[in-house]
Amino acid sequence: MTRTIAPVALLCSGCFLAPGMRMNEGALKDRAGKSSDPSRFEIKAITPQLLAAQERSRLEAQPPPRKAIEMQPGEYEYRISPHDVLSVIVWEHPELTIPAGEFRSPETTGYRVSSDGNIFFPHVGAVSVAGRTLAEVRELLTGRLAQFVRDPQLQVLVAAYRGKRAQIAGEVVQPSSVPITDVPLRVQDAIALARGLTPEADPAHVTLSRGNEIHQLDLLALYERGDMSQNWILRDGDIVHVPDRSLNKIFVLGEVKKPSSKFMTKGRMTLADAIGDSEGLEPGIANPARIFVFRGRYESPEIYLLDASSPDALLLATQFQLQPRDVVFVSTYDLARFSRVISQILPAVQGIWQTYTIVRYR
């Protein structure tokens, strides 16, 4: 009798040594008892009420519409910068106008603004133009030329914009320096000039560095909802950085056919998407009543449980929105774990009995 009980006891105790991960709720309660916020360790069932509460929280957490892009396009006016090249035309006075023929473009023969913000103009001498608008420079030159030219008529243009630039970096096809011109340059315009986003880009978390400040821009809101408050007008020295989507991953582990990490599409993925992309649950092994989602830090996790033992509960999975770095874990049936233990122990037991039989009947 003792000989019969011993192997059975060995096999039963082997259930506790079954390989692989499993949800140990007892250990979770122990951690909760040591935590300053035990409520964080509670397992929350995924129900219609939970989904409704989460949707309300999402709507309440949305930031109010941004006040503004600091200036509207109608208020924008380009101001001349050092290193720009100006073209000045004085009508009926070709001697004061640099020829701009086939071999002499205004960009190469125009008036280059020096680093201290001046140009040198005939009869007038040094003129401070940096920080002024084209209209202001035209008025200034007209007034000074009036001493030498009767009723001067001038046109002032920027032949080359070289002074003000914005930098576009990160996940764009061609990271580059983009000139700021007399046409307002928005974030999306700059990205287009950099030949657009790469497949690895995360447009929802673009950063704009301006001086000592860093602003977060959600270009998905611009693309999908037309939120123009995200599309700022750029200034000289701005740096636009488009991050990659490496942080927009979720992890699917446990009893699914293809455990893996997955990139979220445009920062979105439901629990049903994650399970479906993992080719579904392992038949006969996965326990659909024990599908967990772990979120947050190890010290204070949020834990959600989906009981999908009834197929219609998967409709809840289609509405449960995952967040970046979530871990989805599908538990194993206890019977399946027992079967795995048997399959691993049985060869050893058979070997022992064969050895015992050979020795006994030798």
Q: What is the CATH number of the domain that holds 309?
A: 3.10.560.10
Domain count for the chain: 3
Residue 348 lies in a domain: no
237 and 251 housed in the same domain: no
Q: Which of 209, 242, 275 is the last residue of a domain?
A: 242
Residue 150 lies in a domain: yes
Of 131, 166, 165, 125, whose CA–CA distance to 147 is shortest? 125
Q: Which of 127, 160, 193 is the last residue of a domain?
A: 160
195 and 227 housed in the same domain: yes
Of 339, 358, 351, 352, whose CA–CA distance to 14 is shortest? 339
- Phi, psi of 120, deg, nearest 5: -110, 125
Residue-wise pLDDT tens digits, 127-145: 999 999 999 999 999 988 8
Q: What is the mean pLDDT of residues 308-325?
A: 90
97 and 150 housed in the same domain: yes
231 and 306 housed in the same domain: no
300 pLDDT tier (thresholds 50, 70, 90): confident
Distances from the Cα of 100 to the Cα of 75, 87, 107, 155, angstroms: 32, 9, 9, 14
pTM confidence score: 0.71
334 and 262 housed in the same domain: yes
4 pLDDT tier (thresholds 50, 70, 90): very low
Q: Which domain holds residue 278?
A: 24-49+247-338
Residue 56 lies in a domain: no
253 and 321 housed in the same domain: yes
| pLDDT (0 to 100) of residue 150 | 85
Pure H helices in 202-333: 219-225, 271-277, 314-319
Residue 70 lies in a domain: no
Please state, in angstroms and rounded to a whole number, the distance separating the CA atoms of residues 106 and 111: 8
Q: Name every residue whose Cβ is closer than 8 Å to that of residue 119 and which is 6 or more positions away in sequence.
A: 86, 111, 112, 113, 126, 127, 129
Residue 202 lies in a domain: yes
Q: What is the CATH number of the domain that holds 114?
A: 3.30.1950.10
Tokens 């599309």 identify what position?
231
Residue 11 lies in a domain: no
Query: Higher model confidence: residue 351 or residue 206?
Result: 206
Asked if 38 and 300 touch (Cβ cutoff 8 Å), the reply is no
Residue 39 lies in a domain: yes
Q: Which of 242, 271, 292 is the last residue of a domain?
A: 242
Distances from the Cα of 4 to the Cα of 30, 344, 346, angstroms: 37, 19, 15
User: Helix 2-13 vs helix 334-360: angle between axes, to the nearest 10 degrees?
Assistant: 140
Residue 19 lies in a domain: no
Residue-wise pLDDT tens digits, 239-298: 999 999 888 899 999 889 999 999 988 888 999 999 999 988 888 788 888 899 999 888
DSSP 102-154: TT--HHHHSEEPPTTSEEEETTTEEEE-TT--HHHHHHHHHHHHTTTSSS--E
